Structure 1
Amino acid sequence: MISARLPALLLMMSACASPAPIPAIQPFLDQHCMDCHDADAKKGGLDLSALSTDGNDAAAHKKWVRVFDLVSTGEMPPAKKERPKQEELKSFIATLGSDLNTKHIAQKGTVLRRLNRNEYQNTINDLLGVNVNVIDALPEDGRAHGFDNIGEALSISGIQMLRYMEAAELAIHAALSQDTKPESTMQRATLETERNKEQIGKQWLKREDGSIVVFNNGGFPSTVIPNLRATSAGMYKLRVTGYGYQMEEPVVYSLITGSFNFRNADNVTRSFHELPAGKSSTVEVTLYLAQGNGIWISPQGLNGPDGHSPVKDGPDKYPGEGMAFQEVTLEGPLITEWPPRGQKLLLGEAKLRQLPHGLPPSQAWKARSPGFKHQYTADSADPVGDSRKLLSSFVTAAFRRPATAADVEPYAKLFDAEYAESHDFLIAMRTAAIAALCSPEFLYLKEPAGKLDDLQLASRLSYFLARSAPDAELLAAKLTQPEVLRAQTERLLKSESLDSFVTDFTDGWLNLRELEFTTPDKQLYPEYDELLLDSMRRETRSFVTELIQDNLGIASLIDSDFAMLNARLARHYEIPDVSGLDLRKVKLPAGSHRGGILTHASVLKVSANGTNTSPVVRGVWVNERLLGIEPQPPPPGIPGVEPDIRGATTLRELLDKHRNSETCNGCHRVIDPPGFALENYDVIGGWRERFRSIDKGDQVNLRIEGRKVRYRLGPPVDAAGELSTGAKFANLTELKQLLLASQDRVAKCVTEKLLTFATGREMGFSDRAEIEKIVTQSKDRKHTTRDLIHAVVQSEIFRSK
């Protein structure tokens, strides 16, 4: 059934405009371009005599767009060549522009957009009312233009279809795996259990108040809370009671969940929390736990003086810091809906019935373990009749539109065939449902070329701002009416789903998904820790959320007088008087080196490696992510910037030599300057006046968490540069002023990123006029962020395929 539909989908994907030559511009090319860009010269790797004019050839089309841009801005022909007459220049631009516009219009609506694995997981969980991780069961999605929801990069294969079937089966099993409502229980535990007795008095201290004090991060001896496990999958309330021992600041701990078996493959750090010093307090968290998952409380950054340890001194005499555990409770599962949504959708009035486990008496204990999979059935008085009603409702919900009889028929036939063989209503319904969740109608956003209707807009808007399938209110709304579309956009911007939008959008736009791609060198950056990493990520997401919620302008993106900080980030940024782990809006003090997205530690980390920074990498990041300039790849045979093997004493001198090459200078005079402006920030976003080194430079007299640092301070940082326009700056502060003066360009880039993410396709030549219109109208409101999102949703680009 599925394979029969795939050829039609692939045919639609490959539909495209026919080749169209551009003879009218040939005289202009012959006179002004072919001296440098013919088959012999191929300057810059461009041979215009062989460049395809087929609108289907995306790479060739992009090169023609670049030709158009270079000629339009006067960069080509170069200044030393004879300038074209104004009339022939206008004719060339008009002719080529019209051709590029026509070809892009014909091509942009042909690519089908598949749900990426994150969207698939969100959709299937919302549909069935479960909370399962199917992302790990699916192949990683391709990326284009920074995002992983772009149709052209979301291919599909036989292996992927098999994985989708496995993922659908996993989710449906979760929805149909409990025949009775789980009982909510309250579990209480302390660290003082039989297995921990030997640690008390040896490495741990038991105080008179009954608390157990630990002095390390809980790796060994383990601070996994004993005898505390989720009895079934669901939401739980976790309460941790304790305090910081022999310390002035609150004690920080990470909350880790998992099965804690010998592989530790499913262990996940969920969040960071703190308890006050010397005063008992309780932290409460609501979180989802899989059946059998436990809790690990891991203290962070506990310090102790050199030469001392709990074992050597004895826990009662050890002078170092510790965390006092008093009690941990786990309440749940917290059931708000029973039966689960998936059961009601797939079974209706039919009830699940657990089958005998079939184990011999000597092994019956296995059926009581959390990992044992019980078998179920469901009884129906009218299997065929019930299946038709239930499948119609299920297919309607899955396809995000009213299902027709023709839509339901293949799944009804599949049910009949399966029921005839198994005589089991549950098995037959599961089989039909799995097929529906692997069908093109579920996996793809079906958007025909042209104006989108109400239901198509509902899906586009929901996957843009909620990152999942549309809810009932969206599906019922007349979204083709601009005022209704605006009201629903505003509703989503005010909902909890905004967090999902900000997370997925910033992961692609700012490349935050690569935040953990590199691990900073421990000798060079001993202050780096997991809490800083977590705070980095949350800072940028909170900042973007603040821009949207307070409707702040693009100017704040470039340079703000505030930052979203907690105590860990504030210490990293050397900003005083910030306490606690919760991020909040903090006004920056005079002279601060922070403000705006470019000073975020997350951005500075993803644009560096674990050892050093590169103005080229950071320059590319600024050009692509903030200015909307996509640097050209180096021509074939041109080497990249290598380590210092040619006598240059600094990377700046090395890059100066690199730019002396005429081939390299054209791009690097655009790429490098913004990267130089960021050189005062190291690989983890800390401020520096001098570069760090392992073995060269001046020794540093500094201790971090009680340990003496080993790095040295090398040559001073030079953050000055000159833009390709000739504008000079001495540091990032001055570069920000230049960016503020041209914030329309930044607003245009953000608009293009939003539209790319919202539509699942690259913005092309025919979109330019509409984007310029959005930016022009937005300028009157100082490019305010929330208004910009509304303008994007109201645009013809968003409302059309």
Structure 2
Amino acid sequence: MQKSLVYLPIVALVLLYVGCSNSVPADITTADVVSTDQASEDQTSDQGTSPPGACNTTVNPGRVTIHRLNRAEYNNTVRDLMGDETQPAQDFPTDDHGHGYDNNANVLALSPLLIEKYERAAEQLVDAALALPNEQPVESSFQAQFLEATTGGAGNGYWNLWSNGELYVPFEITTAGTYLFSAQVAGQQAGPDLVQIELRTNTVPFASFAVAATPETPTTYTASTHLEPGNYEFGVAFTNDYYMPDQGEDRNLLVYTLGMHGPFPGNPVAIHIEAEGMEGAGEADQGLVRVGVGESLQHTYQAPSDGTYKTRLRAGVDANAPVTASILIDDAVFWSGEIVSPADAATVIEHTGSLSAGQHSVSISIDSSDSEAELWVDWMYIVGDIHVPETVPSPERAKIMVCSPDETDALECARTIFEGFAKRAWRRPVTDEELDRLVGFVELAFAEDADFETGIGLGLQAILLSPHFLFRVELDPLEAGTSAHPLNDYEMASRLSYFLWSSMPDEELFSLAEYQQLQDDQVIESQVRRMLADPKARALTDNFAGQWLYTRKLSDVFRDSVLFPDFDDDLSDSMRTETELFFEWFLSENHNVLNMLDADFTFMDSRLSEFYDIPLSGDGSSFETVSTDGTVRSGLLTQGSILTVTSHTFRTSPVKRGKWVLSQLMCQEPPAPPPGVEALPEPDESVKTLRERLELHRTDPVCASCHMMMDPIGLGMENFDAIGAWRDTDHGEIIDATGVLPGDLAFDGVPELAQIIKADPATARCITEHMFVYALGRGETAQDSCGLDEITDTWSKQGYGLADLMVLIAQHELFRTRQAENTEGVE
């Protein structure tokens, strides 16, 4: 894409597109946009619960703050929109969390730094998407006497560098690759050494040579280097000036031409052979070597690889005596033809053919019945491998560039391109006014003498920088007033796709939205189940389960290698994978999710098998389903991932484990401890065990209310150490894993504790709440409670299948409707 259009930041150009007064479209009110300050406030807002008897038939679905795409959503969206797998959002600032999830709209603020990152990502994404097929090599030659130099002066067809300095030519590289550079030079020799030269780019040398050539027989020296796109200067430098005027000694470098050839995808090798240096050469006449009938010039050449090679031969004949000449490689004819140019105006013959890797014998000869016929040879040049594979435009480019300005009116073509891309990027139909503004980028490009694709590229960047791409925009109809109203079908398609895929809708969802079919319960159910069967539903494991079950936190875990020598990155990865596969099994099979608490199976590889001391049936190179019946492992609460992320660096934490169960499985998260609360006492002779230290801690009335619930749960998991390994003792004392929960619910160890949690109605209701909060990207409000109770009740009758829960949430009015807001007076 042409770069010289304008030097305005693309964000400034986008402002022209969205309207000069504001970077947020007029149909999005300022009340919808989250500032950084608001994000920190909303993160801790109290949602409340519905009081008993408060439920009625009127649903208040609330409003979801305009939802910026988080990093995962951005990466997935550009993957599905443009086929880009580079995950550009990994370079964005980390997203905040609200109500346990990083897709909470209330905390997804828009900072100046993030805007800068968006601009850079948009440019890189568009450049990659519009990349053309491999560029064919171009060859250029420059007469030295017309170039610039740091010293010396022009002579008759050359530039004389009479002191150390450089002759150079500026050029621009638009395609990365290997480039061949050459300099035809001669030396005015003086002193004990030959003339020394360097070939340079931007004053940095990449090759050096000792020049034996004299002004009577200039020689071309060639070398290659890899260059990335950018502006460069290629030069030849004279580096060992020698001047002794008293002795009449003056060493100079004469430069005749500079040349460049490229780009090449590989690493071609070039060699320039003066005829005088070839085997069989006789005495030269003005630099030309005679070849008569029955004679030949030979040279041995090493081809670096199989491929395509180009030869050049500069030669002439006696006046009015054409000669048929041949270039043979390994005694096989590589080229043969008639040369008619006289020797004093020798011609350059060029031929391209295939060679295999290895050493080859190259020879030049003539074929004539005239024994007096002769050929005069100046030099020969061989370069290869120069093959550039023919490629077709990428599928991503073809999907965007659906027409060509050569085949139709350029502005109509631009309109077609923008309409298709913007509809998918903005996840809704595009208005004529919006299209007019986008086509304006192409008109701007033409006004600046730039090409069609430059304008298209700017328009595509504007689409990617528009709030309609960066945010999941949901708007209230003008007639909605302040009442609840259904989402339109395109908004519904986006809610479904970002819930289940963390990405944009696919073509089937777009088609259903176009025909207004996404308001039907049966259609919604069929779409949810279809989408869950798609590989893109892996996003639920990464983004929902990863935050609900804390598996994302494993990458931040550190353990002392002396206390826990078994713990390393490989074990951590295996722990994470175990829990992820466990979750995916319940999701894909639609099994009762409450059975995650006491399941008699798990997933293990050889690393976990060794750590858990449970044998595998296979070789352990991949994960397999393993029965845990009769072992200490049974369900989530005994998996290494959960036990590790809920521990401290050097020891277990019954408090963290109890809090995790309460918040993630029962939605009864205790409040943060008040300021000034003392930490647990260190162990001593009178207070040895962690249970005793916690009991001492609970004697403080300020601490007792919360710890009465957390501590028994965490202590019931104490048989597992800080990395989830089984143990019977702690500091030499037998571990007591018994406990009593409110309601006189006694247990001994994790299996009995898990049964209590599983049987508590709060657990199913809590899982519903977590899924709902993730699905809508907002916290639960008091107005949601009745709807969530209704979903949970229906779900219980269906058997608590995880996929069933997602269907029920997607079908519910809380998901499908939005509370309108009276924006009169809002600017």
TM-score by length of 1: 0.62
Q: Is the 2:652–2:718 Cα contact (8 Å) retained in structure 1?
A: yes
Alpha carbons 2:644, 2:722 under 8 Å: kept: yes
Opposite residue 458 of structure 2, the aligned amino acid is: T
Shift of 1:645: 8.2
1:340 and 2:394 aligned: yes
Instruction: Report the RMSD for the aligned CA atoms in angstroms.
Output: 3.2
Task: Indicate the residue corresponding to 2:80 in structure 1.
Answer: 126
> How far 1:109 moved relative to its partner?
0.3
Structure 2: distance between partners of 1:511 and 1:410? 45
Q: Deviations over 1:258-305 (max 9, x none)?
A: xxxxxxxxxxxxxxxxxxxxxxxxxxxxxxxxx99xxxxxxxxxxxxx
Give the secondary-structure state (helix, strand or coil) at the position aligned to 1:780. helix
Secondary structure of 1:687's partner?
A: coil
Counterpart residue number, 1:11: 30
Contact (CA 8 Å) 1:552, 1:785: kept in 2 or not? yes
Cα offset, 1:506, TM superposition? 1.1
Matched, 1:445 2:472: yes
Question: What residue is the counterpart of 2:306 in the other structure?
Answer: none
The answer on 1:62 being equivalent to 2:7 is no
Q: 2:42 and 2:123 mapped to 1: Cα distance? A: 38
Matches within 5 A, 1:42-57: none
Asked if residue 473 in structure 1 is aligned to residue 508 in structure 2, the reply is: yes
Contact 1:608 1:614 in 2 (8 A): yes
- Give the direction of change, closer, same or farther, for the CA distance of 1:390–1:642 in structure 2 (3 Å limit): farther
Higher strand share: 2
Structure 2: how far apart are the matches of 1:422 and 1:670?
A: 73
Contact 1:445 1:459 in 2 (8 A): yes
Say which of 408, 420, 443 aligns to 1:393: 420
Corresponding residue number in structure 2 for 1:460? 495
Query: Offset of 1:515 from its aligned partner?
Result: 0.5
1:599 matched residue in structure 2:
638
1:771 to 755, 763, 788: 788
Equivalence for 1:242: none
Change (3 A) 1:486 1:637: same
Q: CA deviation at 1:517?
A: 0.9
Q: Which of structures 1 and 2 has the larger relative contact order (alpha carbons within 8 angstroms, sep 6+)?
A: 2
SS in 2 for 1:638: coil
Larger radius of gyration: 2
| Residue number in structure 2 paired with 1:786 | 803
Q: Is the 8 A contact 1:553 1:783 kept in 2?
A: yes
1:346 CA displacement: 3.6
State the partner residue of 2:216.
none
Q: Return the TM-score normalized by structure 2.
A: 0.60
User: Take 1:394 and 1:755, find their aligned partners in 2: how far apart are those partners?
Assistant: 31
Indicate if the aligned counterparts of 1:617 and 1:675 stay in contact, CA closer than 8 A: yes
Is 1:583 the equivalent of 2:623? yes
Counterpart Cα distance in 2 of 1:61 and 1:137 = 29
Cα distance per residue 1:101-141 (max 9 Å; x no partner)? 99x948x3051111101111111121112221202221111
2:740 is matched with which residue?
A: 722
What are structure 2's unaligned runs of at least 5 residues? 1-14, 137-176, 179-264, 267-388, 477-484, 819-827
Residue identity in the other structure for 1:741:
A
Write the letter of the residue equivalent to 1:436. I
Instruction: Report 1:638-787 matches (<5 A).
Output: 638-641=677-680, 643-644=682-683, 648-691=687-730, 714-742=732-760, 744-787=761-804
Matches within 5 A, 1:53-202: 62=46, 65=48, 105=60, 108-109=62-63, 111-180=65-134
CA distance in 2, matches of 1:746, 1:756: 15
Q: Secondary structure at the match of 1:5?
A: coil
Structure 1 counterpart of 2:712, one-letter code: P
Give the conservation status (yes or no) of the 8 Å contact 1:568–1:581.
Answer: no
The structure-2 alpha-carbon separation of the partners of 1:342 and 1:581, relative to structure 1 and needing over 3 Å to count, comes to same
Amino acid corresponding to residue 755 of structure 2 in structure 1: Q
**Matched position secondary structure for 2:602:** strand
**In the alignment, is the contact (CA less than 8 A) between 2:44 and 2:98 conserved in 1?**
no
Q: Which residue of 1 aligns with 2:305?
A: none
The partner residue of 2:606 within 567, 578, 589 is 567
How many angstroms apart in 2 are the aligned matches of 1:763 and 1:338? 51
Partner of 1:609: 648
Q: Say which SS state the counterpart of residue 524 (structure 1) adopts.
A: coil
Distance 1:167 1:800 in 2: 33
Q: Point out the more displaced range, 515-524 or 527-536.
A: 527-536
The answer to whether the Cα contact below 8 Å between 1:165 and 1:435 also exists between their aligned partners in 2 is no
Q: Secondary structure of 1:4's partner?
A: coil
Residues in 2 aligned to 1:646 and 1:751: alpha-carbon distance in whole angstroms: 46
Identity rate, percent: 32
Aligned AA for 1:531? D
Which amino acid letter does the alignment assign opposite residue 392 of structure 1? Answer: E
- Residue by residue over 1:516-554, the C-alpha shift from the partner in whole angstroms, topping out at 9 and shown as x without a partner, is 212221111112233222211111111111111222113
**1:116-515 equivalence runs, <5 A:** 116-180=70-134, 339-350=393-404, 382-448=409-475, 450-477=485-512, 478-515=517-554
Whole-Å separation in 2 of the counterparts to 1:536 and 1:452: 40
Deviation at 1:58, TM superposition (A): 6.3
User: Do the aligned residues in 2 keep the contact of 1:558 with 1:598 (CA within 8 Å)?
Assistant: yes
Alpha-carbon shift at residue 149 of structure 1 (Å): 0.5
Partner amino acid, structure 2, of 1:62: D
Answer yes or no: is the 8 Å Cα contact 1:345–1:393 preserved in 2: no
Corresponding residue SS for 1:729: strand
1:525 aligns with 564
Maintained 8 Å contact 2:64/2:778: no
Given that residues 765 and 788 in structure 2 are in contact (C-alpha distance below 8 angstroms), is that contact kept between their aligned partners in structure 1? yes
Work out whether residues 454 and 480 of structure 1, in 8 Å CA contact, stay in contact via their aligned partners in 2.
Answer: yes
Q: Per-residue deviation at 1:7?
A: 8.2
Checking the alignment, whether the CA contact within 8 Å between 1:572 and 1:686 is kept in structure 2 is yes
Equivalent position SS for 2:633: coil
Matching residue's letter, 1:452: L
Q: Is the 8 A contact 1:767 1:797 kept in 2?
A: yes
Residue 149 and residue 646 in structure 1: after superposition, are their counterparts in 2 closer, same or farther (change >3 A)? farther
Following the alignment from structure 2 to structure 1, what is the Cα–Cα distance between the partners of residues 552 and 406? 46
Aligned AA (1:587):
S
The range that moved more, 416-425 or 161-170, is: 416-425
Q: How far apart in 1 are the matches of 2:735 and 2:88?
A: 46
How far the C-alpha of 1:637 sits from its partner, in A, is 3.2
What amino acid does structure 2 have at the position aligned with 1:167? A
Structure 2 CA distance, aligned partners of 1:454 and 1:181?
Answer: 44
- Post-superposition shift, 1:611? 1.8
- Could you tell me which amino acid in structure 2 is paired with residue 423 of structure 1? A
SS of 1:563's partner is strand
Q: Does the residue aligned with 2:733 lie in a helix, a strand or coil?
A: strand
Q: Decide whether aligned partners of structure 1 residues 528 and 380 sit closer, same or farther in structure 2, where only a CA change above 3 A counts.
A: farther
| Counterpart-to-counterpart distance in 2, 1:10 and 1:671 | 44
Q: 8 Å contact 1:502–1:544 — kept in the other structure?
A: yes
Cα drift, residue 14 of structure 1:
6.5
Distance 2:43 2:108 in 1: 18
**CA distance in 2: counterparts of 1:141 and 1:10, whole angstroms:** 23
What CA distance in whole angstroms lies between the structure 2 residues aligned with 1:167 and 1:518?
A: 31
